Amino acid sequence: MPRTTTLECPGCPPLRALTFDELGLIKVTEARSKQGGVPKMVERWGDPDASKCVLAASMDDRKFDPLLAVARKNGTIEVLNPLNGDLHFSVSNVSENGVQPVEDAVSGLHLFAKQNLELTSRSCTLLTCTMKGNASIRSYEVTKSAADVTSTGSSRTWNVCAGGDILCSKVDGSESYSLFGGKRVEMNVWDLENCAKIWTAKSPPKNSLGIFTPTWFTSATYLSKDDHRKFVAGTNSHEVRLYDISAQRRPVITVNFRETPIKAVAEDLDGYTIYIGNGSGDLASVDMRTGKLLGCFLGKCSGSIRSIARHPEFPVIASCGLDSYLRVWNVKTRELLSAVFLKQHLTNVLFDSNFADEETKVTLPAADQLHEEEHIAPGTPCEDDGETVPVKKKKSREKKRSKKEAKAESGNKEVSEENGGKKSKSKKSSKRLKRENLDDEL
Amino acid sequence: MGIKRKKSENEGGDEPKPVAVEIEKKKKGILPSMIKNKDKRAAVHAKLKQEKKLDKRKKVKARDAAEKRALELGEEPPARKIPKTIENTREEDETVCRPDDEELFVRNDADEFSAVLKRESNPKILITTCRFNSSRGPAFIEELLSVIPNAQYYKRGTYDLKKIIEYANKKEFTSLIVVHTNRREPDALLIIGLPNGPTAHFKLSKLVLRKDIKNHGNPTSHEPELVLNNFTTRLGHRIGRLIQSLFPQEPNFRGRRVVTFHNQRDFIFFRHHRYIFETKETKQPEVKGKKTKDSKADAITEAKPFARLQECGPRFTLKLISLQHGTFDPRGGEFEWVHKPEMDTSRRRFFL
């Protein structure tokens, strides 16, 4: 008999992923434990139209009334309901400056999760950033009819860069700082409350041959949710750089990965692992404390990776890109859990974290168990690692910072780092508590 | 042997049969390759081969007889079995295009080639080479120029390919072909869609130029017809469209020229033919001598048209190495598809 390579799909935990593609379609893929964890495309929103190509997407997946913001190529930004795809409203980006959307496409979009106190609950705040560096924060009031949207509250617009193209932007966990970077634009950090630049990176020195590699950042992410000082950026010259605002303006660690530009960077929950995807479809995880490659994700992925998403609970990541497959991987074993063919060049992928809760009660305990096992088992050695094998660079950094910065802050930080393990445990327990509550509600 | 037999008898009469079966199995199971003596091995092998041949002949005879009998009785002859080939046992691929796929057509309308394929603009091709080319390279290009209408050859000089792409964009070329030669032998082909189309990198092999083809014809300057075979998957479809956009969309049927890109097991075979329709009237007596059946058919319809082909080179084979998103940019580019060794898990897995 011929050897066959039909994928043995080990099945993924129950999850729900949203993918966005070049024809402006939004596809929902769900895996349920009833079907053996085989993900399937269940819904498709929107009509195929090339001018509506999705450039950026951001989701606020709170329990009640989640929102999804999508920036399209024709300059409109749509806010949708990620549960059923209903359009709340759409706004055009053209109005203010009169710049054609084709020339100045949106490159970054963030939907703020925290509510603005002045505004009512039926509103949302959006940060948009265009290629030319026009960043703006606007709040929108959602009224009953989708037609009229009132822009309320503070609407701030500022320019992030003088020249060059902004290609990546990211808002940190507390949503008060934001990163921007791109082609010919060094990474810079902005305070969103005052719209002030607080930090700019310095390009690395010329190499031993005296050759300077031009600045070209393609992707960026914060290392952990609650620390806005450390972030990771991927460059076009296949480098992944770790910056520490509090330490120095040049990158702390630089990692080279293969030969094609880094196209996607995503952080893990543990605060030091980074997932990187590049232009020829290689996906790998890197430990940013040491800058060591932990391993590659092998799975016949042949097209450039455009986006990586980490599931907030399960040890699972999803990647998508130009080979039009949505792939789900196990983080620990780095094996491919499943691949779904979605027909178009995909630009973005997002996880809906509340999906498991919508499952029936029968599946819930199982999911919880899985979650517990995978969190506790690998958690312990990692903690040991952090304490017993302190990395040289990190130590020096720590010292430097403690000298430079205010004592209180650094002290706090160290404490928090030491208690990292405990903290995560407490977090988990709180999560579990929440879940139990939910069960009761159900 | 005697001892062995005794042993088996001594062991007990309860299981003599399985031993015999085992011995038989052993006799059949001895492969010629297990015999060390070359003469004996050759003899056994020849014998096996002869047996196989006779077996096969017997089978064919039986099948033919059955068919004949069925025909005489006026029954349906038993359906012939379809041999298993690598193509028809190909691994199932979910990316194969289906005609009822609405998204595929919208995608086609939106892709980089749609302007040419919808006849909004005429294809205009720039052909150039790598830095150093000689002997077979220029000869090949000369023939490519005769195959692809509206193509122009530009000397490469010392220009960067990116500069050439800029220039071609300015001059409104729709595609760019780069012939790469190594050791005076063309070995790679780069087809770049302009202005922002994909870049396909092919390995080129088995190149036979026109003058090396026996009884070759000389092509005319009419627009050729294009035959694209077996481009089934999404990737194949895209490559097919890329190739299609090189040729004018309205063939001149007077020219009776056909250009074929035939995909088989991920190899794309290029052939260039002239064809002509003739009637069989003049050759009737010859045919009669050969086969009685045909002559009967001919007697009924006297003028039976048939086509004759004449190959008019070149002849080559392409294999896709990578398909890049956007124009040529090997260091900073994004790939839509790259061949990786880990993808070769089976002989029956094809990508085009």
Candidates A44, A239, A302, partner chain B, best to mutate (most B CBs within 10 A): A302
Using CA atoms, how far apart are residues B267 and A274, in angstroms rounded to an integer? 39
- Judgement on whether residues A349 and A381 belong to the same structural domain of the protein: no
Q: Does B332 sit within 8 Å of A5, measured CB to CB?
A: no
- Judgement on whether residues A303 and A418 belong to the same structural domain of the protein: no
Domain boundary among A305, A330, A357: A357
pLDDT value at position A373?
Answer: 42
B19, pLDDT greater than 70: no
Q: Pull the structure tokens for residue B296.
A: 């009967």
What distances in angstroms separate CA B110 from CA A24, A393, B107, B195, one per listed residue? Answer: 12, 50, 5, 14
Using CA atoms, how far apart are residues A273 and A286, in angstroms rounded to an integer? 6
Nearest Cα residue in chain A from B342: A300
Spell out which residues of chain B touch residue A25, defining contact as CB-CB under 8 Å. Answer: 103
Nearest Cα residue in chain A from B332: A261
Q: Let me know the angle formed at the C-alpha of A105 by A121 and A223, rounded to the nearest 5 degrees.
A: 65
Interchain contact B172–A (C-beta under 8 A): no
Interface residues on A facing B, Cβ-Cβ cutoff 8 A: 2-6, 22-23, 25, 48-50, 216, 236-237, 259-261, 263, 279-281, 298, 300, 302-304, 322-324, 341, 343-345
| Centroid of chain to Cα B285 | 37
Supply the Cα-derived Rg of chain A in whole angstroms: 22
A320 close to A346: Cβ distance less than 8 angstroms: yes
Average pLDDT over residues B1-20: 46
Query: From the CA of B201, how many Å to the nearest CA of chain A?
Result: 14
Of A108, A137, A112, nearest in space to A124 by CA:
A112
Of A193, A137, A122, A188, nearest in space to A160 by CA:
A188
Q: Pull the structure tokens for residue B325.
A: 């998103």
Interchain contact B89–A (C-beta under 8 A): yes
Domain boundary among A328, A357, A386: A357
pLDDT value at position A360?
Answer: 45
pLDDT value at position A425?
Answer: 45
Query: From the CA of B324, how many Å to the nearest CA of chain A?
Result: 9
Q: Does B338 sit within 8 Å of A281, measured CB to CB?
A: yes
Q: Does B346 sit within 8 Å of A50, measured CB to CB?
A: no
Of A390, A313, A380, nearest in space to A351 by CA:
A313
What distances in angstroms separate CA A360 from CA A367, A442, B32, one per listed residue? Answer: 11, 9, 63
Using CA atoms, how far apart are residues A395 and A220, in angstroms rounded to an integer? 24
Out of A23, A298, A304, closest to residue B335 by CB: A304
Query: From the CA of B334, how many Å to the nearest CA of chain A?
Result: 4
Out of A48, A50, A303, closest to residue B335 by CB: A303
- Judgement on whether residues A158 and A107 belong to the same structural domain of the protein: yes
Nearest Cα residue in chain A from B101: A343
- Judgement on whether residues A341 and A433 belong to the same structural domain of the protein: no
Nearest Cα residue in chain A from B323: A303
Q: Does B349 sit within 8 Å of A341, measured CB to CB?
A: no
Q: Does A279 sit within 8 Å of B333, measured CB to CB?
A: yes
Query: From the CA of A321, how many Å to the nearest CA of chain B?
Result: 8
Q: How many CB pairs under 8 A join A and B?
A: 93
Spell out which residues of chain B touch residue A261, defining contact as CB-CB under 8 Å. Answer: 331-334
- Judgement on whether residues A126 and A206 belong to the same structural domain of the protein: yes
Q: Pull the structure tokens for residue A76.
A: 């409109």
Query: From the CA of A213, how many Å to the nearest CA of chain B?
Result: 12
Spell out which residues of chain A touch residue B336, defining contact as CB-CB under 8 Å. Answer: 303-304, 322-323, 345
Spell out which residues of chain B touch residue A213, defining contact as CB-CB under 8 Å. Answer: none
Of A74, A88, A164, A161, nearest in space to A126 by CA:
A88
Total domains in chain A come to: 2
What ipTM does the predicted assembly reach?
A: 0.75
The half-sphere exposure of B240 on its side-chain side, counting CA atoms within 13 A, is: 20
pLDDT tens per residue across span B186-197: 999 999 998 888
- Judgement on whether residues A189 and A318 belong to the same structural domain of the protein: yes
Out of B331, B333, B345, closest to residue A5 by CB: B345
Which residues constitute the domain of residue A298? 15-357
B70, pLDDT greater than 50: yes
Spell out which residues of chain B touch residue A320, defining contact as CB-CB under 8 Å. Answer: none
Residue B127 banded pLDDT, cuts 50, 70, 90:
very high
Candidates B336, B343, B349, partner chain A, best to mutate (most A CBs within 10 A): B336
Nearest Cα residue in chain B from A263: B334
Interchain contact B333–A (C-beta under 8 A): yes
Q: Could you count the other beta carbons within 10 Å of the beta carbon of residue A356?
A: 22
Strand partners, A123: A141
Residue B295, classed as helix, strand or coil, is: helix
pLDDT value at position B20?
Answer: 52
Interchain contact B332–A (C-beta under 8 A): yes
Out of A4, A237, A281, closest to residue B335 by CB: A281
Query: From the CA of B244, how many Å to the nearest CA of chain A?
Result: 21
Could you tell me the CATH number of the domain that includes residue A29?
Answer: 2.130.10.10
Does any domain span residue A393? yes
Does any domain span residue A122? yes
Spell out which residues of chain A touch residue B95, defining contact as CB-CB under 8 Å. Answer: 324, 341
- Judgement on whether residues A294 and A199 belong to the same structural domain of the protein: yes
Using CA atoms, how far apart are residues A280 and A346, in angstroms rounded to an integer? 15
Does any domain span residue A396? yes
Does any domain span residue A342? yes
Spell out which residues of chain B touch residue A300, defining contact as CB-CB under 8 Å. Answer: 340, 342-343, 345
Residue B301 banded pLDDT, cuts 50, 70, 90:
low
pLDDT tens per residue across span B33-61: 888 999 999 999 999 999 999 999 999 99
Interchain contact B107–A (C-beta under 8 A): yes
Nearest Cα residue in chain A from B331: A260
- Judgement on whether residues A54 and A202 belong to the same structural domain of the protein: yes
Average pLDDT over residues B118-134: 91
pLDDT value at position A76?
Answer: 86
Residue B95 banded pLDDT, cuts 50, 70, 90:
confident
Does any domain span residue A394? yes
- Judgement on whether residues A340 and A406 belong to the same structural domain of the protein: no
Domain boundary among A357, A384, A408: A357
B171, pLDDT greater than 60: yes
Interchain contact B338–A (C-beta under 8 A): yes
Spell out which residues of chain B touch residue A302, defining contact as CB-CB under 8 Å. Answer: 335, 337-340, 343
Interchain contact B104–A (C-beta under 8 A): yes
Candidates A304, A320, A338, partner chain B, best to mutate (most B CBs within 10 A): A304
Largest Cα–Cα distance of chain B, in whole Å?
96
- Judgement on whether residues A240 and A305 belong to the same structural domain of the protein: yes
3-state secondary structure chain A: CCCCCCCCCCCCCCEEEEEEECCCCEEEEEECHHHCCCCEEEEEECCCCHHHCEEEEEEECCCCCCEEEEEECCCEEEEECCCCCCEEEEEECCCCCCCCCCCCCEEEEEECCCCCCCCCCCEEEEEEEECCCEEEEEEEECCCCCCCCEEEEEEEEEECCCCCEEEEEEECCCCCEEEEEEECEEEEEEECCCCEEEEECCCCCCCCCCCCCCCEEEEEEEEECCEEEEEEEEECCCEEEEEECCCCCCCCEEEECCCCCEEEEEECCCCCEEEEEECCCCEEEEECCCCEEEEEECCCCCCCEEEEEECCCCCEEEEEECCCEEEEEECCCCCEEEEEECCCCEEEEEECCCHHHHCCCCHHHHHHHHHHHHHHHHHHHHHHHHHHCCCHHHHHHHHHHHHHCCHHHHHHHHHHHHCHHHHHHHHHHHHHHHHHHHHHHC
pLDDT value at position B302?
Answer: 67
The owner of tokens 């692809």 is: B148
B336, pLDDT greater than 60: yes
Of B159, B124, B162, nearest in space to B328 by CA:
B162
Query: From the CA of B349, how many Å to the nearest CA of chain A?
Result: 8
Out of A23, A25, A280, closest to residue B335 by CB: A280
- Residues of chain A short of pLDDT 50, as ranges, are 1-4, 95, 146, 359-442
- Judgement on whether residues A268 and A319 belong to the same structural domain of the protein: yes
Does any domain span residue A214? yes
| Centroid of chain to Cα A240 | 16
Candidates A40, A167, A262, A280, partner chain B, best to mutate (most B CBs within 10 A): A280
Does any domain span residue A328? yes
- Judgement on whether residues A295 and A248 belong to the same structural domain of the protein: yes
A245 close to B299: Cβ distance less than 8 angstroms: no
Q: Could you count the other beta carbons within 10 Å of the beta carbon of residue B285?
A: 8
pLDDT value at position A256?
Answer: 92
Interchain contact B87–A (C-beta under 8 A): no
Does any domain span residue A365? no
Q: Does A5 sit within 8 Å of B340, measured CB to CB?
A: no
Using CA atoms, how far apart are residues A97 and B317, in angstroms rounded to an integer? 53
Region class of A334: left (phi > 0), else alpha (psi between -120 and 50), else beta:
left
